[in-house]
Amino acid sequence: MSDLHLRNVRPMGGALADILIRDGRIAGIGAPDAPPVVPVEDGGGAIAIPGLVDAHTHLDKTLWGMPWYRNETGADLRAMIDNERTARTRLGLDPHRQSMRHAILLAANGATHIRSHVDIDTDHGLAMLQGVLATREALAGIIDIEIVAFPQSGLLCRPGTLELVDAALRAGADVVGGLDPCGIDRDPKGHLDTVFGLAQRHGKPIDIHLHEAGELGAFSMELIFERTRALGMQGKVAVSHAFFLGMPDWRRTQTLIGTIAELDIRILTVGSPSREVPEIVRLSAAGVKVGAGCDGVRDTWAPGNLPDMIDRARIIAMKNNLRRDDDLAFVLQVCSMGGAAVMNLDGHGLDVGCHADLTLLAGETLAEAVVSPGTPRPLVVKRGRVIARDGAAVVPLP
């Protein structure tokens, strides 16, 4: 919990101001008429925003820094799942080292919080969880990591997985994961009853990958509605991807979005360019909390994703056809405050009293910052401590 006097920054791209930080919280914003605070950092006129939040990634999957992995699998979901499970062993993927690399790169690029899905399966047991838990401990004070126990290979279709997910939730995972109740387990009622049952038993929230498109995804979503309502889990359920919301039937999706808002179910998007995706402006206008993430980074699934929420903001803007300055500023909002809202983070923001988790961005305006992914972040501050400077974190990549 550090003190810091951050001079010459422009909060949200506005007028120059100083930000005074005491004990890891923002103590003042404006002209420095308060008693002097040390140390002092000069922001050089950069934009200051609340720390970026990668609310949907997979820290246990990246191959960053390993020899180039030749992808011969293509884009079939089940094939990618099965390939990855065996590739982990073949490639010798060390989940602690790899999640350290991934999380440090995210921090260097301005993220202060991560929600990471971590695979739990009968081939690898809790090995990935243990690796990411060790990373969470090693990076305490650098970046906060929330862990979703994620049955990537299926929860029911591979017996023994349920018990492992249960063990993961006892061992430190924060959120119950699920995925494609129809597509993967082939038993939507069984899958969702199990996921919600785990959540009830452990008193933890839920985050479900829903790649299912069109009416199949809408059906799974309706089952999620029923359980959220019946169990009083409003505000505790998130759905990632939600590709079904990209289907062209406007009236149908508007009804679904209305229920999502009513039940305070949160939506996480990565703006997948190749898929129909939920429109963030439309969701937000309906009162739905929306966050964003980089998804898996340079892994056996997706070679093209980078560990950088500004890169992701640009992709989400392009996918959503957002060009206006106010729209680009909104994308940045989704990538910081939106993710924080989805994760129920208390005290995230750029107001007095908030945690001093903040990121400086080069550029004249918020919009320019969003479309300049190649420009290093001048400074990243976590609880008042400088944890990255000019694109490099204060801790080395292992």
Q: Which candidate, 82, 64, 60, places its Cα nearest to that of 73?
A: 82
The Cα-based distances of 241 to 4, 157, 345 in angstroms read: 38, 22, 21
- Three-state DSSP class for residue 224: helix
The DSSP output letter for 295 is B
Query: Considering the complex, what minimum distance in angstroms separates the CB of residue 89 from a second copy?
Result: 21
Closest CA to 371 of 305, 307, 327: 327
Q: Which residues 6+ apart lie within 8 Å of 237 measured at CB? A: 205, 206, 207, 208, 224, 228, 263, 265, 266
Our CB check for a second copy shows the closer of 203 and 374 to be: 374
* Residue the block writes with tokens 């550029």: 363
Closest CA to 180 of 216, 214, 215, 206: 216
Least spacing, CB of residue 168 vs a second copy, in Å: 28
Q: How far is the CB of 231 from a second copy (least distance, A)?
A: 36
Binding track over 353-382 against a second copy, x by CB under 8 A:
----------xxx-xx-xx-xx--------
Q: What is the DSSP letter of 266?
A: E
- Min dist CB 382 to a second copy, Å, is 23
Encoded one letter per residue, x for contact with a second copy by CB under 8 A and - for no contact, window 51-80 reads ----------------xx-xxxxxx-----
Residues β-bridged to residue 361? 47
The dihedrals phi and psi of 188, each to the nearest 5 degrees, come to -60, -40
Q: How far is the CB of 126 from a second copy (least distance, A)?
A: 28
The residue behind tokens 């990935």 is 128
Specify the residue, 293 or 384, whose C-beta has the smaller distance to a second copy: 293
According to the binding rule CB under 8 A, does residue 298 interact with a second copy? yes
Q: How far is the CB of 167 from a second copy (least distance, A)?
A: 32
Q: Any contact of residue 302 with a second copy (CB under 8 A)?
A: yes
- Taking the complex as a whole, the smallest distance from the CB of residue 326 to a second copy amounts, in Å, to 8
Which stretches of 230-283 are assigned E, i.e. beta strand?
237-240, 266-269
Give the pair of three-digit tokens for residue 350. 């750029």
Q: Which is nearer to a second copy, 68 or 250 (CB)?
A: 68
Q: Pick the piece of the chain touching a second copy (CB under 8 A) from 155-163, 170-178, 299-307, 345-353.
A: 299-307
What's the closest the beta carbon of residue 106 comes to a second copy, in angstroms? Answer: 15
Nearer to a second copy, 33 or 72 (CB): 72
DSSP per-residue letters across 340-381? HHHTT-TT-SSSTTSB--EEEE-SSSHHHHHT-TTSPPSEEE
- Least separation in angstroms between residue 319's CB and a second copy is 4
Q: Does 303 bind a second copy (CB under 8 A)?
A: yes
**C-beta closer to a second copy: residue 140 or 285:** 285
24 binds a second copy (CB under 8 A): no
For every residue of 326-341, DSSP letters joined together read: HHHHHHHHIIIIIHHH
Binding mask 304-343 for a second copy (x = CB under 8 A): x-x-------xx-xxxxx-xxxxxx---------------
> Cβ closer to a second copy: 203 or 321?
321
383 counts as binding a second copy under rule CB under 8 A: no
Q: Which is nearer to a second copy, 196 or 330 (CB)?
A: 330
16 counts as binding a second copy under rule CB under 8 A: no
Half-sphere exposure of 99 (CA within 13 A, CB side): 31
Q: Where on the chain is the footprint of a second copy (CB under 8 A)?
A: 67-68, 70-75, 271-275, 298, 301-304, 306, 314-315, 317-321, 323-328, 363-365, 367-368, 370-371, 373-374
